[in-house]
Amino acid sequence: MGKISNGMTSGVMFSGSTLFFGLGDLLQLIGAHGSTGVLKIVSKYSPESGEIYFTSGNPVDAVCGDKSGLDALYALFGWTHGDFYFEVKNFPNRKTITEGRMQLILNGLKMLDEGKIEKLGPITAEEETPLDSLVMGIPQALVKGPLIDYIYVVDEEEFNPGDEIIVEGRHGNWIWGILEGNVQISKESPQGRVNILRVGRGSYVGSITSFLLGGSIRSATATARDKVLLGVLDSHRLSMEFGSMPTELKSIFISLDRRLKEVTQLAVDYYFNNDPIPAVKKLGMTMVEDINQEKVYTIKQGRAWIVRKMLGTEILISNLFPGDFLGQIPFLDGNPDPLTTFIYGSANLVLEENNSDQILSKFNRLSPMFKNIIDNTAAYVTATTAMVCGFKHKHLTNRTYKQG
């Protein structure tokens, strides 16, 4: 980060990511230096940027989409997945914000914690969850993505509410990007269909492997929740890009896709209170303690399981096999393996540590489209894992209530 000017010169003085510097931190930083200029915040999850204007370190105005002034400034507290640039410059007199800097920070952070400010990122929650978005009384997250790059769109297709876009068990070798509307992802079971996830604009329908393996079998059903406009993506172009990727990136992408299928099946198991932990323990799982979960490993031999502990019980959130990864992937905002989980392995488990810096360097050379697809897939895994934990929590609390 560069030195912050006192506002007497013009130009971008510092920049960074809102993942590391939240708006509260930035307001304090600019205020401490008494800078005059414009803080611009951009996010791939918004077609428009946000701007906050400062005079002598104090915010005096803001714009964010159709919001302005105080409303715009508070809305920008929710832009936790973005980049910022502060430019020292003079601008015409404008003062719509009169509150003190510290009061703005306290109010913004409080509203964010209370859910009064929408978080702009891959997973969002609606202010009011409609009843048809509740599964066992648990609200489904709505997963969104950045705007679809039209240079990859070869055709458009419209679907009406209730139309099935893809059907579990059928073959398909194409993938769509959602241009408008919301889609319900569900999974079949002997006891009936279970709704798992809602995905919206900027997300993808179809898996990473759908354009790699001719006639791949769909692992879930996707149904239009409302009027949906999809862009058919150029499978040939995506296949060519994938073919030219380094081997370790291909392995991570395929592993993440497989993990999504695994956690989706686990969601169905936990929905019907079919706990898989007893069956896994029969395979001889033991806790793996000699690895650093902040690094990334590949399973070379054996099996591994990712487990969370909640209300005195264990919840299985991942079944992993040779070729799958463990740990923190350096290019993912929300990693599938939080540091609060526990890793168990089979007796013959063999792991190989990867070079995170090299992986990140190779990932940064990919096209924005592939980066968005992998981010979106990771968001699906995170949201589906939350449903797994929600179903288990619901069964546990219901049991406790009945026993009481």
3-state secondary structure 74-127: HHHHHCCCCEEEEEECCCCCCCCCCCCHHHHHHHHHHHHHCCCCCCCCCEECCC
Of 357 and 6, the structure prediction assigns the larger pLDDT to: 357
Q: For residue 121, with 0-12 CB atoms within 10 Å meaning exposed, 13-18 middle and 19 or more buried, which class applies?
A: buried
Which amino acid makes up residue 110? Answer: K
The helix or strand, by DSSP H or E, that contains position 399, with its residue range, turns out to be: helix 368-403
pLDDT in tens, 113-122: 777 888 887 7
Per-residue pLDDT at 158 exceeds 60: yes
Segment 169-174 mean pLDDT: 82
* pLDDT at residue 8 in the model: 39
* pLDDT at residue 125 in the model: 55
Of 6 and 279, the structure prediction assigns the larger pLDDT to: 279
DSSP conformational letter for 341: S
Q: Map tokens 């931190």 to a residue.
A: 25
Mean pLDDT value across the chain = 85
Q: What is the pTM of this model?
A: 0.76
* pLDDT at residue 132 in the model: 67
Phi, psi (rounded to 5 degrees) for 255: -65, -40
CA contacts within 13 A on the Cβ side of 115: 6
* pLDDT at residue 174 in the model: 82
β-strand partners of 184: 198, 223
* pLDDT at residue 1 in the model: 35
CA contacts within 13 A on the Cβ side of 62: 25
* pLDDT at residue 11 in the model: 62
- Rounded-to-integer distance, Cα 333 and Cα 357, Å: 15
* pLDDT at residue 128 in the model: 47
Share of the chain above pLDDT 70, in %: 90
Q: How far is CA 9 from CA 13, 88, 230, in A?
A: 10, 6, 47
Per-residue pLDDT at 348 exceeds 60: yes
Q: Are 326 and 299 in contact (CB under 8 A)?
A: yes
Segment 150-159 mean pLDDT: 95
pLDDT in tens, 295-342: 889 999 999 999 988 778 889 999 999 999 988 888 876 556 655 678
Using pLDDT thresholds of 50, 70 and 90, give the confidence band for residue 130. low
Q: How far is CA 400 from CA 137, 315, 393, in A?
A: 17, 17, 10
Per-residue pLDDT at 404 exceeds 60: no
Per-residue pLDDT at 25 exceeds 70: yes
Q: For 5-19, 263-277, 344-358, which range has the lowest pLDDT when averaged over its residues?
A: 5-19
- Rounded-to-integer distance, Cα 327 and Cα 312, Å: 24
Segment 361-379 mean pLDDT: 90
Segment 357-377 mean pLDDT: 91
pLDDT in tens, 202-229: 999 988 776 665 557 888 999 999 999 9
| Residues 218, 220, 344, 374, Cα dihedral to 10° | 70
